[in-house]
Amino acid sequence: MPEIEIDPTTRIEGHHSTTLSVADGRVVRAESEMNMFRGIESIVLGRRPSDVPQVTQMVCGVCFTCHRQASILAIEDAARRAGVFGSVPETGRLLRDIMEGMFLLWNHAIHLFTLAGPDYSDAVADTGFARLDPVEGDGYRAALDQQRRLLQGFSEFGGRAPHPLTYAPGGVVSDPDPETIEEVTETMAALDEWLGPTGELEATIERARDRRGPTDRAPGLYDVCSVLVAAAEEGADGFGVGPGRFYANGMFYGTGDESLVLPPGIYRDGTLTRPTREELVEGITEDVSHAWYTEDSGGSPGDSPPPEPAPEKPDAYSWGKAPRFEGDSMETGPLARLVAAERDPGRLRESLGGGRRRSNTFNRLAARVQELLLVREYVLEWLDALDPSGETTASWNDEFSGRGVGFWGASRGALSHWVEVTDGEVTGYQLITPTTWNLGPRDADGEPSVFEAAAEGIPVPDVSAPIDVMRTIRSFDPCLGCGVHVHGGGESFETTIEPHAPGGE
């Protein structure tokens, strides 16, 4: 059986490799390996609660807002339960929403153009979409410009990006004046124009299918639709099929009542439910049977100690743990969020992806495009509603004891931070990232992670170029070192992925 080892997986954030076993031209087993460990959950111990978001933010320079946000939510949750904190003022909460929203837009743009996009470009896959060609394509270059402008706008509130410093327990320390809000609104208006109306999705898909090129307005919409058209033509609705169970944390408080703009959801066995905080706290566990940690590093995140490395552990193959909800692996990400929100703008998933709740590589890309368009609308609304004279932060005191959990959404899926504070010091901390949900290792029962399951069955006609496997990995937008190796039967192949010269050179 041929053995393919793809290490490193490139165009993701961090270290990942994948081992695939191939038989009869198809993947029969995949092992997803995360190749980096830093020990963040140990580093935060003994620190003041208000310092912890600073540490956890640096978990990821790509998800740089959401780890700060989830950490703050966990600490605020703990303080609220301890009775020493009320709530973040509405303006502060809205300002966080705006920053989180702008971040998500930035991340989706980066992903669709620089990370996943090249797989569907003319230079890499002869798709006829030269605008997507890395570095040289007009679409790619426009996206680099847009992402930079977007973060310039973001930094008006955050002070810098990546790694803004203005979110803090209690609220947001920046207090933007009307001129600043106006400037950010102008930045968002430019993005809005680049992306074009959500209502033109279907028409633009048709345009891209005919390779007609963008109209003068909304070139961005044409380009993201090109990615989808190319993916559909490459059969991405038929590969990368996960177990079809979805988990989304709610995100965005918005301007309405207490319900979240994108609601939480668990979708299993054809049923969508809205989990409560308690159900999530009870249901989530981490399995370390195939991770390089000691056995007692797993269990319920509220009770387990920081992960203790065991790099020589037999049968382990990843630095990622295997999170489970009531024992099940769960897919998370924009697709899970839109399944939970019951949204399918432009009916993209229904008409091109085999159904709006189908788990496959196409639908993951489609949901990312849809979320890009939806959240753009939200951010514009929120900017309009932002009161420059409103309070942005409530007073905060680190001196308390208690436990809290912060549930939030990173652009790539459900994120949770779990904290224990004792007399003003952090004494316990766990964080569960979307990438471990999607690309973690097997659990004690040998049940594969979502990606490991999704990779099985993918045709690999040419073991030297398993591009559909790569497309599937990237469809999860992994944010961590992860690797893919293909092996089996003792036979081993030198994998060479041909470098694709940008611009068709």
Does position 386 interact with other proteins (CB under 8 A)? The reply is: no
Task: Provide the token pair at 185.
Answer: 């609104």
By beta-carbon proximity to other proteins, the closer residue of 315 and 498 is 498
The whole-angstrom separation of Cα 407 and Cα 61 is 19
Of positions 101, 117, 164, 345, contacts other proteins by CB under 8 A: 164
By beta-carbon proximity to other proteins, the closer residue of 7 and 328 is 7
By beta-carbon proximity to other proteins, the closer residue of 385 and 394 is 394
Nearest distance in Å: CB 140, other proteins = 8
For residue 107, the one-letter residue type is N
By beta-carbon proximity to other proteins, the closer residue of 12 and 341 is 12
Residue 397, Cα to own-chain centre: how many angstroms?
32
* DSSP-derived secondary structure for 163-197: S---EETTEES----HHHHHHHHHHHHHHHHHH--
The whole-angstrom separation of Cα 26 and Cα 473 is 16
The whole-angstrom separation of Cα 368 and Cα 503 is 25
Q: Which stretch binds other proteins (CB under 8 A): 130-138, 231-239, 281-289, 434-442?
A: 130-138
Q: What is the dihedral of CA 288, 289, 292, 293, to 10 degrees?
A: 50
By beta-carbon proximity to other proteins, the closer residue of 102 and 340 is 102
Residue with tokens 């697709």: 335
Does position 118 interact with other proteins (CB under 8 A)? The reply is: yes
Nearest distance in Å: CB 382, other proteins = 18
Does position 51 interact with other proteins (CB under 8 A)? The reply is: yes
Of positions 20, 27, 30, 60, contacts other proteins by CB under 8 A: 60
Does position 7 interact with other proteins (CB under 8 A)? The reply is: yes
| Number of residues lying near other proteins (CB under 8 A) | 91
By beta-carbon proximity to other proteins, the closer residue of 134 and 264 is 134
Nearest distance in Å: CB 22, other proteins = 14
The whole-angstrom separation of Cα 111 and Cα 187 is 20
In 39-151, DSSP assigns E strands to none
Does position 360 interact with other proteins (CB under 8 A)? The reply is: no
Of positions 1, 26, 84, 155, contacts other proteins by CB under 8 A: 155
User: What residues pair up with 404 in beta bridges, in sequence order?
Assistant: 419
By beta-carbon proximity to other proteins, the closer residue of 280 and 469 is 469
Nearest distance in Å: CB 156, other proteins = 6
Does position 14 interact with other proteins (CB under 8 A)? The reply is: yes
Does position 69 interact with other proteins (CB under 8 A)? The reply is: no
Does position 168 interact with other proteins (CB under 8 A)? The reply is: yes
Q: Contact 417/71 with Cβ under 8 angstroms?
A: yes
Q: What is the dihedral of CA 184, 185, 188, 192, to 10 degrees?
A: -170
- Residue 373 DSSP SS3: helix
Does position 489 interact with other proteins (CB under 8 A)? The reply is: no
Does position 122 interact with other proteins (CB under 8 A)? The reply is: no
Task: Give the footprint of other proteins on residues 435-474 (CB under 8 A).
Answer: 470
The whole-angstrom separation of Cα 154 and Cα 12 is 23
Nearest distance in Å: CB 52, other proteins = 10
Nearest distance in Å: CB 200, other proteins = 26
Nearest distance in Å: CB 20, other proteins = 11
Of positions 2, 117, 139, 162, contacts other proteins by CB under 8 A: 162
Does position 141 interact with other proteins (CB under 8 A)? The reply is: yes
Of positions 10, 215, 276, 422, contacts other proteins by CB under 8 A: 10
Task: Give the footprint of other proteins on residues 392-431 (CB under 8 A).
Answer: 392-393, 395
Residues sharing a CB contact under 8 Å with residue 153, sequence separation 6 or more, in sequence order: 102, 183, 184, 187, 188
Does position 491 interact with other proteins (CB under 8 A)? The reply is: no
Residues sharing a CB contact under 8 Å with residue 92, sequence separation 6 or more, in sequence order: 170, 171, 172, 390, 391, 392, 393, 394
The whole-angstrom separation of Cα 267 and Cα 273 is 6
Nearest distance in Å: CB 36, other proteins = 5
How many CA atoms lie less than 13 Å away from 193 in the CB half-sphere? 10
How many CA atoms lie less than 13 Å away from 159 in the CB half-sphere? 12
By beta-carbon proximity to other proteins, the closer residue of 173 and 189 is 173
Q: End-to-end alpha-carbon separation of the chain, Å? A: 35
Residue 363: CB atoms within 10 A of its CB come to 33
Task: Give the footprint of other proteins on residues 290-329 (CB under 8 A).
Answer: 292, 306, 308-309, 311, 319
Does position 124 interact with other proteins (CB under 8 A)? The reply is: yes
Binding pattern to other proteins, positions 21-40, x when CB under 8 A?
--------------xxxxxx
By beta-carbon proximity to other proteins, the closer residue of 15 and 207 is 15
By beta-carbon proximity to other proteins, the closer residue of 5 and 192 is 5
**Which contiguous run of DSSP H or E holds residue 414?**
strand 413-422
The whole-angstrom separation of Cα 60 and Cα 67 is 8
Task: Provide the token pair at 347.
Answer: 């009916």
